[in-house]
Chains A and B, each alone.
Chain A
Amino acid sequence: MTREPLLSVENLTVQFRGDRGWVTAIEDVSFQIGAGENLGIVGESGSGKSVSALSILRLHGRANTRYASGAIRFAGRDLLSMSERELRRVRGGDIAMIFQDPMSSLNPVLTVAEQIIEPLQLHQGLSAAAARRRAIELLEMVRIADAGRRIDEYPHRLSGGMRQRVMIAIAIACRPKLLIADEPTTALDVTIQGQILELLRDLQREIGMSVALITHDLGVIAEFAQRVLVMYAGRVIEEAPVAALFDRPMHPYTDGLIDAVPKLEGDLHRLTTIPGNIPDLAAVIPGCRFNPRCREAREACRRDAPALLPVGPDHLSRCPPRAAAAGGAA
């Protein structure tokens, strides 16, 4: 997309301490986000998509997390080797984050004003009066009507969609270069979900930021992302430009995710499903981690761990049989 990516995650492996020792939550995850680019990260619960996103800002509990290998380069610096103090200046500054549930990410005993003003004073050193003026501007930017009055409300007085708008206002307060959005619309009603996605797209243009959008819903991905990372059981299993991913999915798991989206047109047959469940983090699965659920699994899939292989322009897949077929066709 650009010569030098804004963010580059390289071979990242993250482990968590569990009851029975360390388990690997994500393994050898690499991806890049260009300036102004929308990256979608998709997968089921337990696929490692949120772990990857939270690792960028090292938001996992320190005592029970091990960044076992890899690097996270942002604007030329390695976030993994930064001190906690240095990293705190990045969080909410150049990299901001919004979460699924705006109720539990807002502080219920502080007004909206207090919560927006905090990052403005911390990162930009604004006076209280200037910060308040800027906060009202920000609420207007996220299309909150009557912002001058709303700013003194407590979160419980706001609807779910309004709260997510407030979260977004806080996130963009310091004009971040990268916004990480972890399931930002999953808890919202469909008509509000559409409004929030439109808002994110408008703000991205206005501010010129990059967005990493994490979701389990390929419908949302299709509407928002330019490039997509599909994760399964802690690994990236496919990466592609969004059009290529939907036109020519090159991993059976991606096929399954696309087919599982309920359709509004066409036949009314039973929904297509991916059989089974995502494996437990601690489960030992020889070969391809998807093979127990894969309809196309062969002998080699149960034996050899597959590599992420090129299958087309900017298109990678961790499915050697599909890659071989693509290579043979080319």
Chain B
Amino acid sequence: MTAAPTAPIITVRDLVKTFPVRGRPGEPKRLLRAVDNVSFDVFRGETLGLVGESGSGKSTTGRMLVGLISTSSGSVELFGHQIAAGAEKGALNKVRSRLQFVFQDPQNSLNPRMRVGDAIAEPLDVAGGLSRQDRQDRVRELLGLVGLPTGCGDRFPHEFSGGQRQRIGIARSLALKPDFIVCDEPVSSLDVSMQAQIVNLLLDLQEQLGLSYLFIAHDLAVVRNISTRVAVMYAGGIVEMAPKRELYAAPKHPYTQALLQAVPRPVPGRARPPSVAGELPSLIDPPKGCAFHPRCPFAFERCRIEKPRLQPDAAGHAVACHLHEAGSSAQ
């Protein structure tokens, strides 16, 4: 379906983001650890699905990749340029036009008073150098590319449905011919029927334009069709990462298993396994050991003391769980 991966275009190592949190008066400032030692690669032409619930750090990670927020520590290398904290000034500018971002909410990410043609052309205007005619042609081309009538650039965002607005957001992200797009929950606010249209559109564009995606979602069902590999985040860290087929066929981490079981299926009368109890832990004062252990049905002594590391097996299926460490016979 996609080109065979060769060299990574994005390399992320030990990425950390902390936010200072004001305590009550008199209490010291504390740190919220939103992203905690995250490492991954994205290869040319592939989609890495990044899945996690609210507060897992998935969006923060995506935003750091395109420079929308700064990193606290760790390294981010984009197309051979280091852009993380401490990198040479202006490094991000060298690669900025090759990176794009598609936001979750097409309602709020488009200026309601700007015609959609102008919204799509805005990145072109910033880059400069296009004649009026070329600009207009490019807007029509982009509208066509995302499956909208090429003549609808004169209309305003409110004249479009949610799904169509997301198409406009995608058209805008394509204006500067990027190589890599972070799609931050692009279908989460859409109806199921519209989700399928947008996912198919992103697949088509990837094939036509050779794009790579980091596709962020809160649910494993949505990323199944589009992803080449999938990483699951929990409480700031990646707990499992694997090629798509392996992850869905044989999920290893108890949290991944819980996420898969939680997806409602269109099968009436299915005996649904009970939901995993509890909610995401505090990121200011996270549990000792494995962050998932307070909710984990299989937790044992070691999980409460020692934080498991993400360890890949020979097939490239990585999991951070003491149940699956080499030498452990536990299932």
Contact = CB atoms under 8 A, between A and B. Distances in A.
Contacts of A277: 161, 163-164, 194
Contacts of B222: 262
Interface stretch (B59-67, B83-91, B265-273): B265-273
A262 B224 contact: yes
Contact of A219 (B259, B263, B275, B280): B263
A153 interface: no
B225 interface: yes
B3 interface: no
B248 interface: yes
Interface stretch (B13-21, B37-45, B195-203): B195-203
Interface string B257-285: 01111111111111010111101100000
What range describes how many residues of B lie at the interface?
A: 35 or more
Nearest to B222: A262
B267 A222 contact: yes
Given A189-B54, A191-B276, A278 B196 contact: no
A326 interface: no
Contact of B192 (A193, A194, A261): A261
B218 interface: yes
A246 interface: yes
Given A222-B268, A262-B225, A278-B161, A190 B192 contact: no
A221 B194 CA distance: 18
A3 interface: no
Specify the main secondary structure of chain A where it touches its partner: helix
Contact of B221 (A45, A189, A262): A262
Contacts of A114: none
Interface string A263-300: 11000101111100110000000000000000000000
A192 B264 CA distance: 12
Given A159-B280, A222-B266, A277-B164, A263 B221 contact: yes
B122 interface: no
Contact of B199 (A160, A261, A271): A271
Interface string A229-247: 0000000000000110110
Given A270-B203, A271-B199, A272-B196, A217 B265 contact: no
B325 interface: no
Contact of B267 (A191, A220, A246, A262): A246
A29 interface: no
Nearest to B1: A268
B279 A223 contact: no
Nearest to B52: A189
Most buried by B among A162, A263, A277: A277
A192 B200 CA distance: 28
Contacts of A45: 161-162, 191
Interface of A: 44-46, 159-162, 189-195, 197-198, 216-223, 242-243, 245-246, 256-258, 260-264, 268, 270-274, 277-278
24 contacts: A44-B191, A44-B194, A159-B280, A161-B279, A191-B53, A191-B262, A194-B261, A194-B264, A194-B275, A216-B191, A216-B193, A218-B266, A222-B265, A222-B266, A222-B267, A243-B268, A245-B268, A260-B192, A264-B224, A264-B263, A268-B225, A268-B244, A271-B196, A271-B225
Given A223-B272, A262-B222, A271-B225, 18 more contacts: A45-B162, A189-B54, A189-B218, A190-B263, A191-B259, A198-B275, A216-B191, A217-B264, A219-B264, A223-B268, A245-B268, A257-B193, A260-B196, A262-B224, A268-B244, A270-B200, A270-B225, A274-B193
Q: Which 7 A-B pairs have the closest CB atoms?
A: A219-B264, A194-B275, A189-B53, A271-B196, A262-B221, A190-B262, A273-B196
